[in-house]
Amino acid sequence: MIDAIQAISVVLILGITILIARLIAPYLVRVYNRSPSRLDKVLNPVEKFIYKICSIDPEHPMGWKQYFLAGLLLNVAQMVIAFLILVLQDKLPLNPLGFPGLSWDLAFHTVTSFATNTNLQHYNGEATLSIFSQMTAIQFLQWTSAATGICMGIAFIRGFIVGSKNLGNFHVDFVRTITRILLPLCLIASVVFVVMGVPQTLNASTTVTTLQGTTQSILVGPVASLDSIMQLGTNGGGFYGANAAYPFMNPSPYSNIFMISLMLLLPTALIFVFGELLGKKREARPLLWGAYILFGIALVIAFIPNIPLVASGIETRFGGFMSNFYTVTTTAATTGSVNSALSSMHPLAITSGFLGMFIQSIPGGKGIGLMYMVMYIIITVFIVGLMSGRTPEYLGIKITGRDVKLVMVAFLIHPIIILIPTVIAYASGAAAAIGVGGNSVGYTQILYEFTTSAANNGSDFLGASGNTTFFNIATGIVMLIGRYASIAILLALSGSMIVRKRGGTTGLKTDSPVFTIVLVASIIILVLLTFFPFLALGPISSFFRGLTNGF
């Protein structure tokens, strides 16, 4: 059973991460409020130069449509550049191992995956991509997708601020996110990773002498810098195919803990930013408490395999406990990096991963997780209003029928783009073509593939075996819809709040512990009603079969 030391370690890791997130939140607020900073002398000239060469008017306000389209068009342009780099990598520099260019469908899948902050990999990075591709396509998109998610979350918050007239300027938010937040944090994280033993070099390989006296060539590259943006940006795509299970990416228990904290840092910090930008810090409480109560529930489910009556740990380097903890974190924060093979995990640990990806806000990806949690709050307020006979309201704003329709569409898109492609994968024979059977294990793998794509998570069972035209295109489309449809709908919701009249809160107090409990219960009920039948066919079925057979 989970011992006291393990329980204390979970509390300490999460507690320290939340504390650091709380401490950096005021700095993030100053960045997005464009408050004076000591960094202005260095960064203002750089940012002004960027605005000038890109013909950006930093004072131009944007409504939700302009803000969303600005982000979408920039992301599309970045995808085109990355696509050309990948298909032409054999003609570009820094390719000492002579890797050929990627096929069009794998290149499409890869750029879609990294541009949407999903980072689902149907290739083995160290054996497929050149150093140039890793740095200018993969890491480039990890930076821009992370910045885009944060910007969308900040714009969403602005719609709820009293006196707000617009959602800001996407280009300004985007540039400042990279220069003032991601760059300094990633520099610090990269140095820490290098100190911990993660390689950072432009060499493609290094030759070492083994204990047996033979020589061995080991593939290396700019791994530490990718590690930092991969975890801080809740990206998850690794330099190596084995991701954070590979010793050069995650060399020790200390780097493993550091990765867990990095994944949770910015999504948690943005919850505090929500309260500070609103001028109502107490309103951040249900988001924070709700997210981490659900996180705790996911941990409990994942830790059940440590009970001797069910199963033991599965990962020898970090142990079953830390492997499960990492898996819960990477799916709860929709990061997608893995420190052990999902195929070796207990069905309940996989069920816990599904839970994080279904909910997407415990605490979810940076920016997007916050948007989803507010979506759940509005649904909860509406349900409570129906039950009590009161007009639903949130932050003193009356919730209209249009608002409820928008949030319900945003919620329902998720199961639709998961379940329909899963059915098509079996009906078309695409699942059988890669050797995935029709049993509960095979069904879990395919369901997980589309769930991780829809949630922009990126952890998966298939890996390079998913490199088929069907799965490359199908998951690519799911990733695009899962990313941009929900953002557009929730930004539309936020944009409509700007013109609303604000009154004093007369209905349900949304900053109370009671509301947090109701919120958590509502989320669990919604998710169970939507997904439980499909979980029952997959990991839950595997669990009971294993329980019957004694695992």
pLDDT tens sequence across 439-478: 888 999 999 999 999 999 999 888 889 999 999 999 999 9
Model confidence over 61-90: pLDDT tens digits? Answer: 999 999 999 999 999 999 999 999 999 999
Q: What is the pLDDT confidence band of residue 404, given thresholds at 50, 70 and 90?
A: very high
H or E stretch at 351: helix 347-359
- Percentage of the chain surpassing pLDDT 70? 95
Concatenate the DSSP letters of all residues of 217-268 into one string. EEE--BHHHHHHHHHHTT----SSTTGGGSTTTS-SHHHHHHHHHHHHHHHH
Q: What is residue 53's predicted lDDT score, i.e. its pLDDT?
A: 96
pLDDT band at 314 (very low <50, low <70, confident <90, very high): low
Q: What is the pLDDT of residues 357-400, one digit of tens each?
A: 999 999 999 999 999 999 999 999 999 888 877 888 898 899 99
Q: In whole angstroms, give the CA distance from residue 60 to residue 168.
A: 8
Handedness of CA 100, 106, 111, 117 (dihedral sign): negative
- What does the pLDDT read at residue 124? 87
- Taking the C-alpha atoms of residue 454 and residue 481, their distance in angstroms, rounded to an integer, is 7
Q: How far is CA 332 from CA 72, 117, 268, 404, in A?
A: 25, 14, 12, 25
CB atoms < 10 A from the CB of 512, how many? 13
pLDDT of the residue at 504 = 64
| pLDDT computed for residue 351 by the predictor | 92
Position 31 scores a pLDDT of 97
Residue 122, both tokens: 């149907």
Q: Kindly tell me the burial class for residue 276, based on how many C-beta atoms sit within 10 Å of its own C-beta (0-12, 13-18, 19 or more).
A: middle
pLDDT at 312: 43
pLDDT of residue 161: 93
Query: So what's the pLDDT on residue 313?
Result: 43
Cα torsion angle, 52, 77, 174, 375, sign: positive
Q: Is 80 left (phi over 0), alpha (psi -120 to 50) or beta?
A: alpha
Please answer whether residues 344 and 551 qualify as being in contact, where contact means their C-beta atoms are separated by less than 8 angstroms.
no
Give the tens place of pLDDT for each residue, 29-48: 999 999 999 999 999 999 99
pLDDT value at 409 more than 80: yes
Q: Would the pLDDT of 1 be above 90?
A: no
| Amino acid code (one letter) for 99 | F
What is the predicted pLDDT for the residue at 406?
95
Q: What is the pLDDT of residue 16?
A: 97
Query: Helix 253-278 vs helix 223-232: angle between axes, to the nearest 10 degrees?
Result: 40
The mean-pLDDT minimum among 108-112, 141-145, 305-309, 544-548 falls in 305-309
**Number of residues that make up the chain:** 551
Pull the structure tokens for residue 453: 């794509």
Structure tokens at 375: 């979506």
Report the alpha-carbon angle 196-201-205, nearest 5: 105
Mean pLDDT over residues 280-299, rounded? 95
For residue 316, pLDDT over 80 is answered with no
pLDDT of 126 reads: 82
Higher pLDDT, 374 or 219: 374
pLDDT at residue 125 greater than cutoff 90: no
Please check whether residue 95 is in contact with residue 89, taking contact to mean a CB–CB distance below 8 angstroms: yes
DSSP, collapsed to helix, strand or coil, labels residue 512 as: coil
Question: Mean pLDDT of all residues in the chain?
Answer: 91
The secondary element (H helix, E strand) that includes residue 315 is none
pLDDT at 202: 82
Q: Which of 117-121, 194-198, 418-422, 538-542 has the lowest mean pLDDT?
A: 538-542
Q: So what's the pLDDT on residue 508?
A: 72
pLDDT in tens, 164-173: 899 999 999 9
Q: Is residue 506's pLDDT more than 80?
A: no
First to last CA, the chain: 17
Res. 424: pLDDT tops 60: yes
- DSSP for 268-337 reads HHHHHHHHHHHT-GGGGHHHHHHHHHHHHHHHHHHHGGGSTTT-----TTTHHHHHHHHHHHHHHTT---
Residue 11's pLDDT band (cuts 50, 70, 90) = very high
Q: What pLDDT sits at residue 42? A: 93
pLDDT tier at 526, thresholds 50, 70, 90: very high
Per-residue pLDDT reduced to its tens digit, 191-200: 999 999 999 9
The count of other CB atoms within 10 Å of the CB of residue 54 is 10
| Domain locations in the chain as residue ranges | 365-530
Lowest mean pLDDT among 104-113, 187-196, 232-241, 422-431: 232-241
Helix count and strand count (H, E) for the chain:
20, 4
In single-letter form, the type of residue at position 203 comes to N
Q: Return the exposure string of 10-31: e unless at least 16 CB atoms fall within 10 Å of the residue's CB, then b.
A: beebbeebbeebeebbeebbeb
Residue 254 scores a pLDDT above 70: yes
Average pLDDT over residues 475-502: 94
User: Worst-scoring range by mean pLDDT, 206-210, 289-293, 413-417?
Assistant: 206-210
